[in-house]
Homo-oligomer: A and B are copies of this chain.
Amino acid sequence: MSVTTPRGFRAAGVAAGLKSGDARDVALVVNDGPDAAAAGVFTTNRVKAAPVLWSEQVVRGGVVRAVVLNSGGANACTGPAGFQDTHATAEHTAATLTASGLEIGAGEVAICSTGLIGERLPMAKLLSGVDAAGQALSPEGGDAAAEAIMTTDTRPKTTVVTGDGWTVGGMAKGAGMLAPGMATMLCVLTTDAVAGRETLDVALRAATRVTFDRVDSDGCMSTNDTVLLLASGTAGVEPSAAELTAAVTAACHDLAQQLLADAEGATKEVAIEVVGAADEDDAVEVGRSVARNNLVKTALFGNDPNWGRILAAVGTTAAAFDPAAVDVAVNGIWVCRSGAAAEDRSKVDLTGRGVTIRIDLHAGVAAATIWTNDLSHAYVHENSAYST
């Protein structure tokens, strides 16, 4: 049930005609309280969509009582008019919910959009969708909401992590443009725990740093990435900061792996484990460099354990390492030792979807894992044949 598993939340997902067919495309998540604390993490792309600019302000206010999410249009690169559209959506949502008995201001409504960049949203349809979603709000609405935010996703992504008397729930979308500083994605996490906004902020940043931020499917960063964490306090239990962080991290990890497994056109999920690094930043830099290398990614698509391409990618980084000391294993076979050929590459079995590349820099004790996908014909097809 995703975002509605924690108590104090209702949600809905409806079809408003933003996407072709009868697909759900507008989601609404409402926090009925008693608390309405929230935190958010947004794309670091300097070209930010209107809903990102808006929601950053809302989160800075510290109170989020509702989130409207739409697929079928990103409302990015739409200028001042696009920002007005987002503002109008928040005003309309606040008025609709207030009419139904909640007291909500527009500045407490976060907005998320996803879809094609550069086109205005069909506002009449969107606002009708908000009305319909308001009517459909339900404590069982989490799954419908998760479905409504899908774009090229082939399946909805939801998660539930249970604490001691409290729960974290979540939903996410994202299948392409999955990249650094957060996979291109929208994600709403909810909890019925009691937690102040600072605690939520620390937990969310700690969680995204080691999960969404380390998924790099295609090296492309979106204009719309948004991860929100809302706390209702309904459970009346206040977990420690460490407990909350652990639960939020587990929820983000689960959703991140679902994004990876549903990445556009991918045939492999690839974990790049960098160990023996001088520090964590070095490990992340090396992992990301390998994750973004099109020659490594095409080799994996071709079931080719081409460790030379991996080493060439490592060599483009500024990380501390001696090229003559690097070891590389692919699915457990150490095909490269001390920067040269070692075990027989024909021993490597790449027929499954899961691939683990382990790179030992022999420069320290730090480690990090970056997750990526291969580069396939289907990726090219999906991203060349359709405008997204």
Does A79 contact B45, Cβ atoms closer than 8 Å?
A: no
Q: Is residue A230 contacting chain B, with contact meaning CB distance below 8 A?
A: no
- Residues in B whose Cβ lies below 8 Å from that of A383: 294-295, 298-299, 302
Give the complex CA separation of A219 and B116 in angstroms.
25
1/0 contact trace for A105-147 toward B, CB 8 Å?
0000000000011110000000000000000000000000000
A96 in the interface (beta carbon within 8 A): no
Q: Does A209 contact B (CB under 8 A)?
A: no
In chain B, what residue has the closest Cβ to A338?
Answer: B79
How distant is A288 from chain B, measured CB to nearest CB, in Å?
A: 13
Q: Are A117 and B309 in contact (CB under 8 A)?
A: yes
The interface residues of chain B lying within 8 Å CB-to-CB of A324 are 79
Stretch in contact with the other chain, from A14-22, A165-173, A313-321: A313-321
Tell me how far the C-beta of A57 lies from the nearest C-beta in chain B, rounded to whole angstroms: 17
Smallest beta-carbon distance A84→chain B, Å: 12
Interface size class of A (residues with CB under 8 A): 35 or more
Once the chains are docked, how many angstroms separate the CA of A77 from the CA of B323?
8
B-side contacts of A294, CB under 8 Å: 218-220, 294, 375, 379, 383
Residues in B whose Cβ lies below 8 Å from that of A292: 219
Contact (Cβ within 8 A) A220 B293: yes
A368 within 8 A of B: no
Q: Are A45 and B377 in contact (CB-based, < 8 A)?
A: no
Say yes or no: B312 contacts A221, CB within 8 Å.
yes
Tell me if A177 is interfacial: C-beta within 8 Å of chain B. Answer: yes
Tell me whether B47 and A306 are in contact (CB under 8 A): no
CB distance from A320 to the nearest CB of B (A): 11
Dominant SS at the A interface? loop
Q: Let me know if A211 is at the binding interface, CB within 8 A.
A: no
Shortest distance from the beta carbon of A300 to any chain B beta carbon, whole Å:
8
- Asked whether B177 lies within 8 Å of A295 as measured between CB atoms, the reply is yes
- Does residue A362 face the partner (Cβ distance < 8 Å to B)? no
- Minimal Cβ-Cβ distance residue in B for A217: B294
Q: Shortest CB–CB separation between residue A201 and chain B, in angstroms? A: 24
Using Cβ atoms and an 8 Å threshold, which residues of chain B touch A78? 340-341
Among B45, B308, B323, the residue within 8 A (CB) of A316 is B45
Question: What are 29 inter-chain pairs, A to B, with CB distance below 8 A?
Answer: A46-B316, A46-B323, A47-B312, A48-B323, A74-B308, A76-B308, A77-B341, A79-B339, A82-B340, A116-B308, A117-B308, A118-B308, A118-B311, A118-B336, A118-B340, A177-B295, A219-B293, A219-B294, A220-B295, A220-B312, A220-B313, A222-B312, A294-B294, A294-B375, A294-B383, A298-B384, A301-B380, A302-B386, A304-B384
A interface residue numbers (CB < 8 A to B): 45-48, 74, 76-79, 81-82, 116-119, 176-177, 218-223, 292-295, 298-299, 301-302, 304, 306-309, 311-317, 321, 323-324, 336, 338-341, 375-377, 379-381, 383-387
